[in-house]
Amino acid sequence: MSAPSAVTATALAFANARAEARALPAFPGIVPESFDTAYAVQTEAMGAHPANLRGWKVAMIKPEWRAAFPAERLIGPVYRVIDVPNGGTATMPSITGGYTAVEAEFVAVMAQDLPPRETPYDAAEITAAISAVHVGAEIAGSPLVNLNDLGPGSIISDFGCNAGVVLGPDIDGWQSRPWASLTAKSSVNDVAVGEGSAAVVPGTPVAAVVFLANLLSRQGRTLRAGDLVSTGMVTGIHKVAAGDRAVIDFGDCGQFAIDFVTAKPID
C-alpha cells in the first residue's frame, strides 16, 4: 500500500486528533500556502468525519494575510449544533491542550438549496433564500493551540477552526430590523469581554452567506436547505477552557449561557 499524500496525511491527523480529543504538538505536515491546498485538506478531513454536516462557518481573513490568501473570508464545516432556548444553557467541549474560543454570532438558516452555477449569487437572492436568522455562538476550536497564529492555510485545513455552533432563538422580523439594532454582549466567568452588533460583520451577515454560497458553488458544492451559516463574530474572539462559563446577551432577541467541559473521545 502506498503512503498517503501530504494532503491526506494532514487531513487525517486533524480528523483523528479531534475524534480522540487529543492535542497536537505542532502542525501535522507543511502549512498550506494556497487556498487550493488548504481547501483540499479540509475536503479530505470532512470525508473522515463521522458525523453529518450541519452547516458552515464564515470568518474574516486578517488583512496582513490577504496578500498570500487574496480573499476577505474563509469557511469551515460545522458538525456539532446545540439548540438552546432563551435563558437556557448549552454545554460544549474543549480539548485539553488545544484551542477553544467563544464568539457571539448571528446564524442564518437556509430555506432552499443553492446549487453550483456559473453566475454568482447576489445579496437579493441570498436574502430570499434565508428562512430565519438566529442569535447564536460559534465555538472555535482545534487540537492545535497555535492554529490561528499560522494563518488561513492552517485554519482552513482544520475544519476552519470550528468546534460547533450554539443556536439560540430566531429573530422575529429580522428582514425589517436595522443590523445595528441587533446587539450582543459577551461575558466569561461573569467578566464582560466584548460587545457589538450585527452591523460589525463587514457587508452585514448576508454578505457572509453570499461569500459562502459562491465559494461552495466554485467548489462544486450545494449550500443546502436547512444548513446553518454562522456569519462572523460581533463581540470579539474570547478564549475559554473547560470549567469556564460564557453568557451572551442579545438584548430583546434573547440570551443564553455556555458551559465548557473537557472534550472526550468520540465512541
- DSSP β-ladder status, 162-170 and 81-83: parallel
The SS3 call for residue 79 is: coil
Sorted by sequence, the CB contacts under 8 Å of residue 267 that are 6+ apart come out as none
| Domain that includes residue 232, residue range | 6-262
In a domain, 79, yes or no: yes
Lookup result for grid cell 501530504: 6
User: What is the model's pLDDT at position 1?
Assistant: 40
Across the beta sheet with 89-94, the strand order is 89-94, 255-262, 245-249, 183-188, 191-197
Sorted by sequence, the CB contacts under 8 Å of residue 143 that are 6+ apart come out as 14, 17, 18, 21, 22, 23, 24, 95, 97, 98, 158
- DSSP β-ladder status, 55-60 and 228-230: parallel
pLDDT in tens, 244-253: 999 999 999 9
In a domain, 1, yes or no: no
Query: Which residue type is seen at 250?
Result: F
User: What is the model's pLDDT at position 266?
Assistant: 85
In a domain, 92, yes or no: yes
In a domain, 41, yes or no: yes
Counting as low any pLDDT under 50, the low residues of the chain are 1
Closest CA to 56 of 214, 207, 230: 230
CA distances from 67 to 38, 70, 89 (A): 16, 6, 41
In a domain, 211, yes or no: yes
In a domain, 111, yes or no: yes
User: What is the model's pLDDT at position 16?
Assistant: 98
In a domain, 257, yes or no: yes
Tell me, yes or no, if the pTM score tops 0.85: yes
For the chain, what is the domain count?
Answer: 1
Looking up residue 71, the CATH number of its domain turns out to be: 3.90.850.10
Sorted by sequence, the CB contacts under 8 Å of residue 36 that are 6+ apart come out as none
In a domain, 267, yes or no: no
User: What is the model's pLDDT at position 130?
Assistant: 99
